[in-house]
Amino acid sequence: MRDALLKIQEEALLKIQETEILEGLEGFRIQYLGKKGELTKLLKEMGKLSAEERPFIGKLANEVKEGIEEAISNRKKILKNFQYQRLIEEEKLDVTVNKPMAKQGHSHPLYQVMEELENLFISMGFSIVEGPEIETVENNFDKLNAPKNHPTRDLSDTFYIDKNLLLRTHTSPVQIRTMMQQKPPIRIISAGRTFRFDDVDDTHSPMFHQMEGLVVDENVTMANLMHTLDSFIKEFFGKEMKTRYRPHYFPFTEPSCEVDVSCFKCKGAGCPDCHDTGWSMELLGCGMVHPNVLENCGIDSKKYSGFAFGMGVDRIAMVKYGIPNIRFLFDNDARFLKQF
């Protein structure tokens, strides 16, 4: 039996040492040390030994078992280390490779201006409200007091989806939605894309961006509107800027005005850019909210009044950055965009 134990030990240690497969070690453990393993089978025959041989063979059997277990454990560590080193070699990254760095982008100039405007009006106590670009005819025209024969309702001026839905022609429907859902006092700003049929030229596009403001409360007057806009213009464009209010017509406000600002180049002194008038182009439209609009939204026009104003963000961005053509804002030319 001694020779058989030593033969099992020699054979097991050789196989364990030669194996290159980590999973194979468990097979060797079962083969030699398992319940039906070769060492276990041999030890079952110890009953045939004499009393003098049993202690010696029992001690030798334990040494063989411990030797096999230690060999398996040591080989497992070695194979795991080999496996780890192989993974390092296969998956390593050469950080010394010289590759061009990815360029970091930034906000589009339009959205930079939009964010500046929003932050300015937030500081004046306004809240930001958003609305869908696909609107109902009711919100876009009817509740805004637009006459049935108003030219903007024509198919040649507005993008209709069907007879009840369209691409919004202004951000004013956001005001309607707010007034229908919220009771006064209301002080909101809404900005986003709007759509009207228009031939593309230096200053026009069928898709453009608007920002509108609305204030509804008790005892709101035209003086409040003018003070708000004057404060906004001086804060955004400079303290030296002046404003001029000209009467105009909008179906959703009464009275209504267009607002001009002093020339951005000469600051009102007169130059070729402003044809020596000292005034720049019209910047925005405004007026007192028409009583019909308030009533259409369930607001008592005898108790509450309000003012509204709207401006083209594209136009303000062009003025602010001296951009001569609106196409530059939408052409996605990196040479242009990286300047901002």
Q: Are 284 and 307 in contact (CB under 8 A)?
A: no
Q: Cα dihedral sign for 246, 304, 182, 122?
A: positive
Residues 234-239 have a mean pLDDT of: 89
Q: Which tokens is 187 given?
A: 């002080």
Low-confidence winner among 49-63, 173-187, 264-278 (lowest mean pLDDT): 49-63
pLDDT of residue 214: 97
Share the mean pLDDT of the chain.
Answer: 86
Distance of CA 328 to the CA centre of its chain: 24
Percent of the residues in the chain that have a pLDDT greater than 90, as a whole number: 45
Q: Are 10 and 1 in contact (CB under 8 A)?
A: no
Measure CA of the first residue to CA of the last residue in the chain; give whole Å.
90
Residues 76-104 have a mean pLDDT of: 79
Rounded to whole angstroms, the Cα distance separating 31 from 28 reads 5
Closest CA to 340 of 153, 111, 179: 111
| pLDDT band, very low/low/confident/very high, at 265 (cuts 50, 70, 90) | confident
Which residue type does 116 have? E
* Residue in the block written with tokens 């958003």: 130
Q: Which tokens is 335 given?
A: 């040479």
Q: DSSP 3-state assignment of 159?
A: coil
Residue-wise pLDDT for 107-139, tens only, equals 888 999 999 999 999 999 999 999 999 999 999
Rounded to whole angstroms, the Cα distance separating 263 from 127 reads 30
CA angle 242, 289, 152 (to 5 degrees): 90
How much of the chain is in helix, strand and coil states, percent to nearest 5?
45, 20, 35
Phi, psi values for residue 279, rounded to 5°: -120, 140
* Residue in the block written with tokens 């079962």: 30
Strands 186-195 and 127-128: parallel
Burial 208-233 (b: 16+ CB within 10 A, else e): bbbbbbbbbeeebeeebbbebbeebb
pLDDT of residue 7: 76
Count of all residues that appear for the chain in the document = 340
The reported pTM is 0.67
Q: Where are the beta strands (DSSP E) in the chain?
A: 127-128, 134-136, 165-167, 186-195, 207-217, 243-250, 253-262, 279-289, 305-312
Residue 200 burial (CB count, 10 A): 13
For residue 71, what are the CA distances in angstroms to 3, 8, 13? 20, 13, 7
Rounded to whole angstroms, the Cα distance separating 247 from 108 reads 34
Low-confidence winner among 15-19, 30-34, 41-45, 137-141 (lowest mean pLDDT): 41-45
Q: Which tokens is 126 given?
A: 């306004």
Residue 171 burial (CB count, 10 A): 24
The half-sphere exposure of 14 on its side-chain side, counting CA atoms within 13 A, is 6
Does the pLDDT of residue 140 top 90, yes or no? yes
Rounded to whole angstroms, the Cα distance separating 195 from 166 reads 9
Closest CA to 295 of 248, 249, 252, 250: 252
Strands 279-289 and 253-262: antiparallel
Rounded to whole angstroms, the Cα distance separating 302 from 306 reads 11
Does the pLDDT of residue 176 top 90, yes or no? yes
pLDDT of residue 1: 66
pLDDT of residue 151: 87
User: Residue 190: which H helix or E strand, with range?
Assistant: strand 186-195
